[in-house]
Amino acid sequence: MGEHPIKALQILNHSMALLFLILACALWGLSFPLMKALNLEQASRMPEASSVFLSSWLQCARFLCASVLLLPFVLRRNAISKGEFFQGLQLAFWGGLAMWLQADALAYTDASTSAFLTQAYCVILPLWACLRHHKAPGSRVVVATSFVIVGCAILSGFRWGKMQMGRGEIETLLAAFLFTFQILTLENPKYQNNRGIPVTMMMFGGIALLFVPITWLVAPSFDACIQAGASLQSMTLVLALALPCSAGAYLLMNIWQRKVSATEAGLIYTSEPVFTAAYVLFMPAMLGAFIGAVYPNESFTLSLGIGGGFILLANGLMQWKRSPHLAPLA
């Protein structure tokens, strides 16, 4: 008799975990159109500012806000351990550089394309493992890598006659490569006892500190650092990126991921670009009206469907019956 309530509770917890992890992916997916809208808003007010400066400024503002939001959760617990401190800083380095490239890339490519290309890290990771262990990749890795290459080529509009990809696509793929090292840091066995919330707060704070000198160096002037956030639209978008897209998504992941199987978690995380592809069908026009700039909705094209489908298929193939990888910040 007593087994039935326990089993019912397990099923309920499992269902809630699936729901909240899908919600985390939905929140991550929001970051792509939000970042592009912020870039458009700031560029219209500051035509002299480079995309490198604006993306650097965003890292400081977004993750400073996110770290402050998580601070009360950390203060209620025990002090941050040495391992949590150093893991957070390592994550800040790899994740911060990756998200910097990702934010700059959105000035040169569509949000949906960037979201799908970012998922290439799911295939880069096992390729890196093969290289590190001096082993030839298995058939699964070879097939999945082929799918990613084809998908990236279709999404970027790559043409053999031109033999080039755009700046946005190249930077996004470089970001995916850096996200690989972020994931390796997350999965390092020596950090297995670290708590997720303190590590995440250290990561957020580390990213903000990392980009303070970078922002200063690439800023056209000191006033530009103030002007970048000197509008209601700019600060609203930064808060949206810091709260639901960063702190909210990671809190959901840290709490609920342990309640699902490895296969389920890995497959759920590949839904992020699908959410982005849906958002950009209607959100850009709404965001454009809010920021007072032209930001047209994207349309579902054959290249987006086929290219994104190849990447999702590759991710599903690599995640099947494997340990889950924690998804990077978007």
Break the chain into its structural domains and give their ranges: 3-319
Angle at 21 between CA 19 and CA 26, to 5 degrees: 95
CB 33 within 8 A of CB 279: yes
pLDDT reading at 162 higher than 60: no
Residue 186, phi-psi category: left (phi > 0), alpha (psi -120 to 50), beta (remainder): alpha
For position 273, what pLDDT does the model report?
A: 82
The CA distance from 196 to 95, in Å, is: 15
For position 197, what pLDDT does the model report?
A: 86
In the predicted model, what is the mean pLDDT of residues 284-312?
A: 88
Angle at 153 between CA 136 and CA 52, to 5 degrees: 100
pLDDT reading at 130 higher than 60: yes
Band of pLDDT at residue 4, cut at 50, 70 and 90: low
pLDDT reading at 230 higher than 60: yes
Please tell me which of 69-78, 222-231, 311-320 the model is most confident about, judged by mean pLDDT.
Answer: 222-231
The CA–CA distances, whole Å, from 189 to 17, 27, 134, 150, 185 equal: 24, 28, 21, 34, 9
Band of pLDDT at residue 266, cut at 50, 70 and 90: low
Taken as a whole, the chain contains a residue count of 330
Angle at 84 between CA 79 and CA 88, to 5 degrees: 125
Per cent of the chain over pLDDT 70 is 84
For position 270, what pLDDT does the model report?
A: 72
pLDDT reading at 329 higher than 60: no
pLDDT reading at 67 higher than 80: yes
pTM: 0.79
For position 23, what pLDDT does the model report?
A: 92
CB 280 within 8 A of CB 288: no
pLDDT reading at 208 higher than 50: yes
CB 49 within 8 A of CB 43: yes
For position 223, what pLDDT does the model report?
A: 94
Q: Average per-residue pLDDT in the chain?
A: 83
Band of pLDDT at residue 205, cut at 50, 70 and 90: very high
The residue that leads in pLDDT, 50 or 250, is 50
In the predicted model, what is the mean pLDDT of residues 317-327?
A: 57
The CA distance from 298 to 282, in Å, is: 8
The CA–CA distances, whole Å, from 279 to 171, 181, 208 equal: 22, 28, 27
